[in-house]
Structure 1
Amino acid sequence: MKGDFHVHTPFCPHGSNDSIEMYIEQAINKGITELTFTEHAPLPINFIDPTPDQDSAMSWEDLDAYIQVIENAKKQFQSKVKINLGFEVDYIEGYEDATTSFLDQYGRYIDDAILSVHMLRSPDSNYVCIDFSSEEFARIIQMFGSVEAVYDKYYRTMEKAIISDLGAYKPNRIGHLTLIHKYQRKYAVDQRYHVTIERLLDLIQEQQLELDVNTAGLYKEECLELYPPLPIIEKAIQKGIQWKPGSDSHVSKTIARGFDQLKIK
């Protein structure tokens, strides 16, 4: 079965207006037999989106419509492709209870889901979004004092996400494990964090979670590698960790993009 398990929709404020049907038709044309829509779940109500455009996630007002549109698409295309209703849920340090509450309320609709880290608690106890832009990342480095300090905070937060208790509907897959490397070709780090990442793989295995193998990084000019890169994926497989490919598409034409590069031993 060939699937794309990380796909966004027109409900994403920083995405495109491509319709759900456009994503599905593109998937069918590329031979995809299973498709998971993982729209950014609404942020906790009392959490202020730290991105300059405040466009990180779908609004609470759109939530019911999103569910209905995906449920309708499941029925409409059931003879051609298996469609899963999902979310990309943000792990936000300090907002675990609010996230659990969301999952408890909407978990019954979820077929498949991803848990990702985009937001870090900053030294001044506010929050920053690590993947908004290269310019914003430069500001974050200045705030933390060094690029290494930002990476360290990201991986500590990712560890908390992996071991967090978010209730019965905690997402079963960890999203783009090495997203912090998005700007690595511009803001280099002295260490490659292999030991840190391998420890996280051990925790993922212990928690019986899956890995999102995300091809979007291949097409980010300051990254140019998978999230996570192939050697880490191969280590994950050696540890018995299941993985699923995801294009992280925000436009329909990028469905399954880069999947030909997933030559995994």
Structure 2
Amino acid sequence: MKDGHVHTSFCPHGTKDQIEEYVERALQLGYTEITFAEHAPLPEDFIDPTPMQDSAMRYEDLEQYFDSIEEAKVKYRGKIKINIGFEIDFIEGYEVQTAKFLDEFGSRLDDSILSVHFLKNPSGKYDCLDYSPDNFREIAEAYGSVENVHRHYYQTVLKSIQTDLGLYKPKRIGHMTLANKFRLKFPTALECTDEIIEILELVSKHDYELDYNGAGTAKPLCREPYPPDWVISEAKKRGIRLVYGSDAHQAKELGQGIERMLLKK
């Protein structure tokens, strides 16, 4: 069993749990492979819109991050396959900077994910889609409706797939229905079916993978994986490979939502 989406203490909004705690927990769960996909540093001229500006790891921590995972690889060799990875943010308007970062560091990665967390809003500024319910309400007000937020999110995911980010562009699309994180508080009748199907068609065309992300099952205002069951069914029709990701920010979160994926196999 592989967990392809795990965070570490290098994430400022995460945990103090050490790499070894994650690996030991993974072994307890019977994992054979784990990818540490830490939030890569954001472009240097991008202003993180979250209140604490803690969405991603710092540039100055990159070498320590690489060294820590390499040390874990040596320590647990023969017991579990450990991958060095990043969760790369696709930020509309910062494609050149992102490609440059991947050109510099991509050769050192074993695995990676491409995700959308930030939306360029109508004023030209940026919002963090999944920060909090109150923040999501403000975004919806700025966009005119919850439905408009969902549309814009999926349009941005489409751009992330279509954009050339160079040789080391991630081939797995992260939590593609993240717009649903607060769905129980901000329901919408709009499922963006056309946009989601277009995303799946492109994922299939490019032979990319989908992050089957269990974190949504633990979110009190979501209670479903990213993506939900109907999207998984459509992905399977197109032969898209699904890679389970706990999106754990603490060692105890490894395995969250995994039972949903096992039931769908």
- Partner residue, 1:23: 22
Preserved CA contact (<8 Å) 1:122 1:128: yes
Deviation digits for residues 104-137 of structure 1, max 9, x if unmatched? Answer: 0001111000000000001110000000111111
Q: TM-score, normalised by structure 1?
A: 0.98
CA distance in 1, matches of 2:257, 2:183: 19
1:40 aligns with 2:39: yes
The alpha carbon displacement at 1:230 in A equals: 1.5
1:95 corresponds in structure 2 to 94
Does the residue aligned with 1:201 lie in a helix, a strand or coil? helix
The superposition leaves residues 171-211 of structure 1 with CA deviations (integer Å, 9 ceiling, x where unpaired) of 01000000000011111112112222111100111111100
User: What 5-or-longer segments of structure 2 have no aligned partner?
Assistant: none
Q: Does 1:209 align with 2:208?
A: yes
- Is the CA contact (8 Å cut-off) linking 2:155 and 2:195 kept in structure 1? no
Q: Is the 8 A contact 1:163 1:207 kept in 2?
A: no
1:82-121 matches, cutoff 5 A = 82-121=81-120
Tell me the residue number matched to 2:255: 256
**SS of aligned partner of 1:243:** strand
Unmatched tracts of structure 1, length 5 or more: none
1:160 is aligned with what amino acid? Answer: K
- SS state at 1:65 partner: helix
Contact residue 210 and residue 243 of structure 2 kept, 8 A? yes
TM-score where L is the length of structure 2:
0.98
Asked whether 1:81 is paired with 2:80, we answer: yes
1:39 counterpart SS class = strand
* Residue in structure 2 matched with residue 241 of structure 1 by the alignment: 240
SS of the residue corresponding to residue 243 of structure 2 reads strand
Question: Which residues of 2 match residues 75-224 of structure 1 at below 5 A?
Answer: 75-224=74-223
Contact map agreement 2:217 2:256 (CA 8 A) in 1: no
CA distance in 1, matches of 2:121, 2:44: 20
User: Within 1, Cα distance between the matches of 2:178 and 2:226?
Assistant: 6
Cα distance in 2 between the residues matched to 1:90 and 1:199 = 20
Matched AA of 2:5: H
Q: How many residues align?
A: 264
**Per-residue CA shift, 1:120-169, capped at 9, x if unaligned?**
00111000000011111111111111111111110110000011100000
Q: Which runs of 4+ in 1 moved over 4 A?
A: none
Q: Deviations over 1:59-101 (max 9, x none)?
A: 0110111011111111111121000000000000000000000
Mapped to 2, the partners of 1:261 and 1:225 lie a distance apart of: 9
